[in-house]
A and B are shown apart, each in its own frame.
Chain A
Amino acid sequence: MEQSTVTRKEFIRKSAWMLAGATFLPGMLFVEDAGLKKGGHAHKNKKYTLKNVRLETGFVYHDGDVIATKTELFMVDVDHGKIKNVRSNQADAQAIDARGMLMLPAFKDMHIHLDKTFYGDAWRAVERRTGGLKGMIALEQQILPGMLKDSAHKAEKLIGLLQSKGTAFARSHVNIEPTSKLDSLRHLQMALDNKKQVFGAELVAFPQHGVYYTDSAPYMKEAAQAGVDFIGGVDPFTVDGAIEKTMDFTVQLALDYNKGIDIHLHETGASGLKTVEYLINKVNENPVLKGKTYLSHCFVLGKLDQAKQQEMAEKLGAAQIGIVSTIPFAGLIMPIPTLLEHNVKVMTGNDSIVDHWNTFGSGSVLQKVNTAAQVYGKTTEFGLSRMLKLATAGPLPLDDKGVQQWPKAGDAADLVFLDASCSAEAISRISPVTSLIYQGNIVF
């Protein structure tokens, strides 16, 4: 984000303006003084105005089909971390110039492991896996003590990557097991505290080594009281050998401490389906969990026939259980369109960026949505524009009828700016991210 019309130097040279500027141009000065790239001070209470902000205002129809997206330039007032007003553009106003970039809700990475990454390290490929998930648990028991030494620093670097791709918020899983104990959580909390002005997160206590396969239950209880938002889990049948015992523990912990649930489920067979059904029943029995219970991956849904997919989508939708998917694109295809049709909340995330599990993560949720658009054949203006909800974890500028529904006064000023003419183009071309604002703070 750059100042319009004058650079700071030119501005200072015009001394008459300088005097006036202190009074009339707060936005400009705050940007100059914010020092946010260095993790500077909070200035949520500061006000500023953006001009030449491109917003989507409607669809263009031809023969009943959406053939393009209408946009116009606006002024956006930001105050106390929120959007205060959206008003008609004045190109010559003294304000921060968005230069016609498209403004969208900032992206959210809703499945990532910020606590254990090799990002920023020298390159190393993954080794050929032996022993399945339990082999990976053994590997982690070996390498985690070393990784924990600088996991806070690595998390901050990884957050920098996500921000550069337009993401201002993440749901991060954090390892809770006897090897890390609560150290992975504490390190990540330190990193997030350093970034709190420019990046938001919610945390999932993730018993990566099983709740009972390794003795993680006491640590999970401790974590539930140490600032996490969700109780996690992983493949109860494969790792712990019993669906019910693990799920009952997880659900009870969430209820006891008023948390959500977000469980990794990779199992594709009968045990996978049974786990989904068991969780649906538990949520229906405990309606307080509705809207805050999620299954990550949930590959089993990709293995079901179409009728069963619809049935499960309906049940998940009714129980308000969401699905978080990394959008697999070969071998197994997730029924994401079916889930969306049944009002299941679907979100996406990068999961691994570069670590001992996988080295292919780009850090861009826009790229994830691009993949989804290709997998599900969303090639039209309308089809593409609807997919944006995967990147924003919800909000879309236009509703299905093309009525503008975002941004509105009072909305959080979590904003991404892209060099694109509309969201359909941004998704199809993975358009460059030019600026990011988190809670009113200009990140870049």
Chain B
Amino acid sequence: MIHTTYAEPVQGHYTLKNVRLETGFVSDEKGAQSTQTGLFCIDIKDGKIANIYATDTPPANAIDAKGFLMLPAFSDMHVHLDKTLYGLPWQALSPKKRTVLDMIAYEQELIPELLKTSTERGAQLIDLLQSYGTTFARTHFNIEPTSGMRSLENLQRALDLKKERFSAELVAFPQHGVFYTESAALLREAAQLDSVQFIGGVDPYGIDRDIEKVLDFTVQLAVDYHKGIDIHLHDGGKEGIRTIEYLAEQAVQHPQLQGRTFISHAFVLAQLPASEVQRIAEKLAAAKVGIVSSVPFGALVMPIPALVKHGVEVLVGNDNVQDYWSTFGSGNMLQKANLMADMYGWRTEFELSRTLRFATNNVLPLDDNGKKQWPVVNTGAEFVLIDASCSAEAVSRVSPVMAFAHKGKLYRKQ
């Protein structure tokens, strides 16, 4: 387990000096060869960036950022903070072959036990994510007859413990099906809570055996209570495609869902020929439905470059860090960006610098032309300080995170 200790947070009105910011690309006829940076002073006030300026005479009481690179804080856009085994003694996955339905039965047994300590384990997992510079997560929480509302309540307690330095948006996740177990009423209850931002789901065909019925229910709930949607989709084949297309069609019919509807995993896209990927990607882009991926590799490789190329919003998350589904998660978003760059062959200065977006929920310091676009005065002071000379290096070398700031509060590693 990670035990990171931080100096007392710096807060209120303060100045950071020797902050390295990216200011442009150095380009020749072949494109961006390197990234230009400069050292700046940054005033922080009321949780916001109040001023950015270069000076030879920083205020005497300015905090020294020591030339570390400031980047947008990292966001983990798919994680299950409510049911991790992180922090418990090591346990490999069971050798017994288990289907998703077997896993539901297993969870029904296990969850009452896990709920006893899920608050503190959730908090420990947040600590792990934070040690790698993440200050925001989209977390799914189980909602099914076994947990009732208790997974949510415990998760909220964990988030409350960490609220000074971490925030999250919540997805009500009917892991055991909407109808396969009677979860519809619970989902409706959760949908009415201000603390819940998304209606979740999982394999409408694989679990509930009725794509339209499940998605109609999900969409109606989201529309009725002004929520977004983020459903897990592992189903392959024609059912997988049908699920994606049906949800995209619903988003077209309900414009209020556009930009806030997501499909997590969508593994079926990895099984399709390029032309079919393009057709579906165009449909997703037009309906403003995004894809959230934990970036699988090996036998299954997601066509993320094609999705991005056709204008689909792609978000990335760790998903499992250590639990009974998988034990391989690092919790490190920069590691995910590194994996993507390595896997998709993004190797040049320009390509590597663009890859950072997958760690930052699509915020980048420079635009594609090398124009500085972040940080912006009067926006939230949400950043990391990294021991790297530029984003490209940070992504390729998985450079160490030295500090992070959440809502202006600066936490420096000791």
Residue of B nearest to A376 (CB): B298
A19 within 8 A of B: no
Known A-B contacts A428-B327, A430-B330; A125 and B95 likewise in contact (beta carbons under 8 Å): no
A360 to B396, CA, bound (A): 5
A125 and B343 contact, CB distance less than 8 A? no
A163 within 8 A of B: no
B297 and A128 contact, CB distance less than 8 A? no
B192 within 8 A of A: no
Q: Give chain A residues whose Cβ lies under 8 Å from the Cβ of B93.
A: 379-380
A65 and B89 contact, CB distance less than 8 A? no
B181 within 8 A of A: no
B390 and A123 contact, CB distance less than 8 A? yes
B347 and A125 contact, CB distance less than 8 A? yes
Q: How many residues of A contact B (CB 8 A)?
A: 40
> How many Å from the CB of B298 to the closest CB on chain A?
4
Q: Give chain B residues whose Cβ lies under 8 Å from the Cβ of A381.
A: 92, 95
A379 to B327, CA, bound (A): 8
**Contact mask for chain B residues 372-396; partner A; CB cutoff 8 A; 1 contact, 0 none:** 0000000000000000111011001
B-binding segment of A108-116, A226-234, A328-336: A328-336
B299 within 8 A of A: yes
Contact of A331 among B89, B301, B326, B397 (CB under 8 A): B301
User: 8 Å CB contacts to B: which residues of A368-412?
Assistant: 370-371, 373-377, 379-382, 384
Q: Give chain A residues whose Cβ lies under 8 Å from the Cβ of B301.
A: 330-331
B92 and A360 contact, CB distance less than 8 A? no
A140 within 8 A of B: no
Q: Give chain B residues whose Cβ lies under 8 Å from the Cβ of A252.
A: none
A354 and B92 contact, CB distance less than 8 A? no
A375 and B297 contact, CB distance less than 8 A? yes
B388 and A382 contact, CB distance less than 8 A? no
B322 and A429 contact, CB distance less than 8 A? yes
Size range of the chain B interface in the assembly: 35 or more
Residue of B nearest to A126 (CB): B347
A420 within 8 A of B: yes
> How many Å from the CB of A330 to the closest CB on chain B?
4
Q: Give chain A residues whose Cβ lies under 8 Å from the Cβ of B95.
A: 65-67, 380-382
Known A-B contacts A123-B388, A359-B396; A329 and B343 likewise in contact (beta carbons under 8 Å): yes
B342 within 8 A of A: yes
**Contact mask for chain A residues 340-383; partner B; CB cutoff 8 A; 1 contact, 0 none:** 00000000000000100011101000000011011111011110
Residue of B nearest to A65 (CB): B95
B348 and A128 contact, CB distance less than 8 A? yes
Contact of A125 among B326, B328, B392 (CB under 8 A): B392
Q: Give chain B residues whose Cβ lies under 8 Å from the Cβ of A373.
A: 328
A54 to B178, CA, bound (A): 47
B352 and A125 contact, CB distance less than 8 A? yes
Residue of A nearest to B349 (CB): A125
Residue of B nearest to A362 (CB): B398
Q: Give chain B residues whose Cβ lies under 8 Å from the Cβ of A16.
A: none
User: 8 Å CB contacts to B: which residues of A407-430?
Assistant: 420-422, 424-425, 428-430
B36 within 8 A of A: no
A329 and B297 contact, CB distance less than 8 A? yes
Give the interface centre of B95, B348, B389, B392 by most chain A CB atoms within 10 Å.
B95
> How many Å from the CB of B358 to the closest CB on chain A?
15
A330 to B30, CA, bound (A): 27
Give the interface centre of B90, B301, B390 by most chain A CB atoms within 10 Å.
B90
A10 within 8 A of B: no
A20 within 8 A of B: no
B327 and A125 contact, CB distance less than 8 A? no
Known A-B contacts A65-B95, A127-B30; A425 and B90 likewise in contact (beta carbons under 8 Å): yes
B396 and A65 contact, CB distance less than 8 A? no
B38 within 8 A of A: no
> How many Å from the CB of B334 to the closest CB on chain A?
12
Residue of A nearest to B298 (CB): A375
B146 within 8 A of A: no
A124 within 8 A of B: yes
Is chain B's interface secondary structure helix, strand, loop, or mixed overall?
Answer: loop
A307 within 8 A of B: no
B5 within 8 A of A: no
Residue of B nearest to A379 (CB): B93
A122 within 8 A of B: yes
Give the interface centre of A330, A358, A379 by most chain B CB atoms within 10 Å.
A330
B94 and A359 contact, CB distance less than 8 A? no
A123 and B31 contact, CB distance less than 8 A? no
Give the interface centre of A67, A331, A360 by most chain B CB atoms within 10 Å.
A360
A89 to B93, CA, bound (A): 31
> How many Å from the CB of A67 to the closest CB on chain B?
7
User: 8 Å CB contacts to A: which residues of B31-46?
Assistant: 31, 33-34
B264 within 8 A of A: no
B30 and A128 contact, CB distance less than 8 A? yes
A122 to B393, CA, bound (A): 10
A122 and B328 contact, CB distance less than 8 A? no
**Contact mask for chain B residues 53-90; partner A; CB cutoff 8 A; 1 contact, 0 none:** 00000000000000000000000000000000000011
A68 to B93, CA, bound (A): 10
A330 and B297 contact, CB distance less than 8 A? yes
**Contact mask for chain B residues 318-359; partner A; CB cutoff 8 A; 1 contact, 0 none:** 000010001110100000001001111001110010000000
Residue of A nearest to B326 (CB): A379
B96 within 8 A of A: yes
A128 to B389, CA, bound (A): 20
**Contact mask for chain A residues 25-68; partner B; CB cutoff 8 A; 1 contact, 0 none:** 00000000000000000000000000000000000000001111
Contact of A126 among B299, B322, B328, B348 (CB under 8 A): B348
**Contact mask for chain B residues 83-122; partner A; CB cutoff 8 A; 1 contact, 0 none:** 0000001111111100000000000000000000000000
> How many Å from the CB of A361 to the closest CB on chain B?
9
Give the interface centre of A67, A125, A425 by most chain B CB atoms within 10 Å.
A125
Contact of A420 among B30, B34, B90, B338 (CB under 8 A): B90
A429 to B90, CA, bound (A): 9
Known A-B contacts A380-B95, A428-B327; A359 and B297 likewise in contact (beta carbons under 8 Å): no
Contact of B342 among A66, A122, A360, A425 (CB under 8 A): A360
B96 and A65 contact, CB distance less than 8 A? yes
A123 and B348 contact, CB distance less than 8 A? no
Q: Give chain B residues whose Cβ lies under 8 Å from the Cβ of A382.
A: 95
Known A-B contacts A125-B396, A373-B328; A421 and B92 likewise in contact (beta carbons under 8 Å): no
A381 to B96, CA, bound (A): 12
Q: Give chain A residues whose Cβ lies under 8 Å from the Cβ of B90.
A: 420-422, 424-425, 428-429
Contact of B348 among A68, A125, A428 (CB under 8 A): A125
> How many Å from the CB of A334 to the closest CB on chain B?
11
Known A-B contacts A379-B93, A424-B92; A122 and B31 likewise in contact (beta carbons under 8 Å): no
B298 and A374 contact, CB distance less than 8 A? yes
Contact of A358 among B96, B328, B343, B347 (CB under 8 A): B347
Known A-B contacts A128-B30, A370-B328; A428 and B89 likewise in contact (beta carbons under 8 Å): no
A428 and B347 contact, CB distance less than 8 A? no
> How many Å from the CB of A416 to the closest CB on chain B?
18
Q: Give chain B residues whose Cβ lies under 8 Å from the Cβ of A420.
A: 90
Residue of A nearest to B398 (CB): A362
Q: Give chain B residues whose Cβ lies under 8 Å from the Cβ of A123.
A: 388-390, 392-393, 396-397
Q: Could you write out 14 A-B pairs with CB less than 8 Å apart?
A: A68-B91, A122-B389, A124-B34, A125-B396, A128-B31, A329-B298, A333-B298, A358-B347, A359-B396, A359-B397, A370-B328, A379-B327, A429-B90, A429-B322
A residues with a Cβ closer than 8 A to B are 65-68, 122-128, 329-331, 333, 354, 358-360, 362, 370-371, 373-377, 379-382, 384, 420-422, 424-425, 428-430
B residues with a Cβ closer than 8 A to A are 30-31, 33-34, 89-96, 297-299, 301, 322, 326-328, 330, 338, 341-344, 347-349, 352, 388-390, 392-393, 396-398
Further 5 A-B residue pairs, CB within 8 A, beyond A67-B92, A330-B301? A125-B348, A125-B392, A371-B297, A379-B326, A379-B327
